[in-house]
Chains A and B, each alone.
Chain A
Amino acid sequence: MTNMAESPPQAVSARPPQRRSFRDLVLQTEINFRIFGMLLALAAILFVFHLWSGGTFLRPENMMSLAVQASGIAVISTGMVLVIVSRNIDLSVGSVVGIVAMTYAVLMTDVMPNMLGMAGDFPFRWLIALGLGMGLGLAIGALQGFIIAYIGVPAFVVTLGGLLSIRGVVWYFSRGAAVSGLDPEFQLIGGGAQGSIGGTMTWLVAALTGLAIVGLLYYNRRQRRRYGFPLRPMWAETLIAAIAMLFVLGLAWVANNNFWPRGAAEQYARANNIPIPEGGLLIQTGFPYPVVIVIGVMLVMTWIATRRRFGRYVYAYGGNPEAANLAGINTRWTIMKTFMLIGVLCAVAGAIAASRLNGATLDIGVSYELYVIAAAVVGGTSFAGGIGTIPGAVLGAFVMQAIAYGLSYVGVNSPGQNVVAGIVLIAAVAFDSWNRRRGT
């Protein structure tokens, strides 16, 4: 007996297992169909580009580029899910990324050394800059959130105003010129050969993640047994565990098939007295920091959305604002917090963007809001409110970036890329609407 099936109005006792259709089997695993479908779609897209490029697309180096390019958008999209779920929108994310990125650059190249007397060797200077930038993101989010939640101005209007005015402030800040030259530690945040966690750490992270998944499945099963809830069949549990572990280990394997450039490896070998073997020393890069950041953010945000009251209230408000108010929830504070959260996430994405460029330009972050919203929507978040998952949005970001990167790779120019992106967006939402109408 499963939870998902509609049980007939008779016996509660167990029925003898009869011939199950495939659909029943799949239902028994309780996998989220939408996310599963998106994983399949992503695989299909990668495969199509592999064929289109004459068999060169699916290489570890390319997957690395793709992952790093998607990371900024993916990070912000986790926050956008909560904003859209609670029936709001944030159009200012691109401008916030821009101003925070410029803040990092100006802090590390000008304000800190020249005005605060913190020279290049000041301990953890980069970390302080990072903290200040995140504080700025938080403050902007709080301001916008306050105006939206407590004064009652529609989010569309407030964040549109933010988009315009903040971008203007960036210009005044920098006089329009690009500012470059960040602290070396900060530069690592953006990935690249040295901006990765290395081979051993990658295997460790993968192993821990795998164990965590198994642990979660086990804990879940134990809870169900304790309360006497229906259990997932053992074969379903093992299947899920196996697939998840394979997936995680597969990602680690791809990451570990990227290596340091020859010159850097040799330098390292000489510095550490490691003999250089025939053919050069191979140092694995492993997961780039941006990818680690995305994974970390995704896990934390998913935890917040599903296991914390705040997350529950966001979804409740999105489902029925009146019900949430009548339940005594402080909905204004909840809404304001969603904007504060996305502000901080913009600052994180700003750090990734600035370190990828080793500086900041006037136009960092321009148009991010479109990609972030597209990622959330492709990932299953609905503008009607109350519906959307965080892993879905992260997947949505990767799907959209896979398309953009793939098209660049095979030589389709930007107008073509924009056409495809627009079609994919509409198709994803249309699919959702069709699905919902069918009543699943």
Chain B
Amino acid sequence: MRRSRLAALVPAFALVVAACQAAPGTPTQAPGTPSGTPAAPGTPTAECTVAVSWNNFQQPRWAAHDQPGIRDTVEAAGGTYIDADANLSNEQQNTDVDTLISRGADVLILLAQDTQAILPAVQRAKQEDIPVIAYDRLIEDSDVLYITFDNVAVGRAEAEAVLEAVPEGNYVLIKGDPGDPNAHTFLPQGWDEAGLKEKVDAGEITILNMSGDNWPQDAGTYTDAWATETAQDNMEAIIDRAVADGNQIDAILAENDSTALGVVAALEAKSYGFPPLSGQDGDPANLNNVALGKQYVDVWKNARELGKAAGAAALALCEGQDMASLTLAEGLVDTSVAPDSLTAQDFVTPAENTVKSFILKPTPITRENLNLVLEGGWVTKEQLCQGVDAAAADAPAACQ
């Protein structure tokens, strides 16, 4: 005799939970203060509603850095900030955009889950005369404003640092999710721009984990969903193979921090030592590894600055400024990060659309310049220097 009356509660419960997940933006902690107050471009902007459509708010960086950057900039100028999270679903994101429009969005900041699948939503926004900012991820539409970090430049910075430390030898390449264009196109492109392919062709560098002959598709091992545990398992197999074949691993290019974390775990499990290793995102655990000497370079994208730029651009578009002549205020964005020109530049997309853009610069972080992340309020000294013996002679400057 089974009673299923309460069974009806379960779907209701699931809905509530899903709703809670899809509505971020309520109490988020703000680690540190944003550096420098955003200067509004001249005119007061009352009644401007800036709407943000996130694609995967669960990933750490958005809540910690991008969101505060956008929101603080908008609200300091008197605007209103609203947002929604699509939880990795294209359909959900299309719905989110509709919802945000009906909630009164004046400008839309869009982190596209998929550059093509988002186009119908972009169309609808355009019909409502709502300017669209493509945030961090490209949207194949010539009317959007593309604000991002240069992902190819990130790859270039990763490889440049490691190649400088290890100009010759055996390399291991660890890539991200095989379906992500960053993983299979943009970052490898940056690696090659830094000289990787040249050196491989010249025989100075050997890639230990090729899975075929095609470059760059078969160069390196992909990691489903950029998952740390998967990267760890793959790296352990690679280390085993190298040891068995009698090859020394001289350097490791990992595309981002979550995979780099798995690589470090594998190196520790196998007691292999720590050849120079790259990463990106500036995750606290990885920065700590940089301080401990387990990771060589972490290409940091100060996402707070990106958020500020997007927030400021959104406010300007709200007022009716033209995208082509949009200019960021001096000092709004940190100079090391800001694009060379503070006015929107043309950018040609892979599908040959020309969009206006602000492309920010990444900052490679090594042991020598760890202070940058401290000053930026990105991590606390405690997080950064956990396990570091400050008194030791070779402790990084930032921890002493």
Contacts and interface: CB of A to CB of B under 8 A. Distances in A.
Interface of A: 53, 56-57, 59, 61-62, 65, 68-69, 147, 151-153, 157-158, 161, 164-165, 168, 171, 175-181, 190-193, 260-261, 263-264, 353, 356-359, 361-366, 404-405, 408-409, 411-415, 418
B58 A171 contact: yes
A56 B387 contact: no
Nearest to B21: A168
Nearest to A405: B237
Contact of B258 (A168, A361, A409): A361
B302 interface: no
23 contacts: A59-B240, A61-B243, A147-B10, A151-B7, A152-B3, A153-B6, A165-B14, A168-B20, A168-B21, A175-B60, A176-B61, A177-B60, A180-B288, A192-B270, A193-B271, A357-B228, A358-B265, A361-B228, A363-B228, A366-B229, A408-B233, A409-B241, A415-B178
A161 B386 CA distance: 37
Given A164-B18, A413-B178, A191 B269 contact: yes
B215 interface: no
Interface residues of B, number: 58
Contacts of B218: 413
Given A65-B237, A178-B261, A414-B224, A358 B268 contact: yes
Contacts of A165: 13-14, 17
A218 to B, nearest CB: 40
A59 B243 CA distance: 10
B221 interface: yes
B359 to A, nearest CB: 26
A176 B63 contact: yes
**How would you classify the secondary structure of chain B's contact residues: helix, strand, loop or mixed?**
helix
A360 to B, nearest CB: 9
A176 B60 contact: yes
Contacts of A176: 58-61, 63-64
B387 A181 contact: yes
A356 B232 contact: yes
A285 B231 CA distance: 24
A333 B126 CA distance: 59
A204 B254 CA distance: 42
A61 B245 CA distance: 13
B209 A411 contact: yes
Interface string B13-25: 1100110110000
Contacts of B230: 414
A415 B283 CA distance: 27
A168 B223 CA distance: 22
A158 B7 CA distance: 9
Contacts of B17: 161, 164-165, 168
Contact of B222 (A61, A191, A193, A414): A414
Contact of A405 (B64, B228, B233, B261): B233
Given A62-B244, A405-B233, A158 B10 contact: yes
A413 B221 CA distance: 6
A365 B229 CA distance: 8
Contacts of B228: 178, 357, 361, 363-364
Given A180-B288, A412-B211, A161 B265 contact: no
Nearest to B29: A175
The interface centre, meaning the residue of B223, B236, B243, B268 with most chain A CB atoms within 10 A of its CB, is B236
Given A53-B241, A152-B2, A68 B223 contact: no
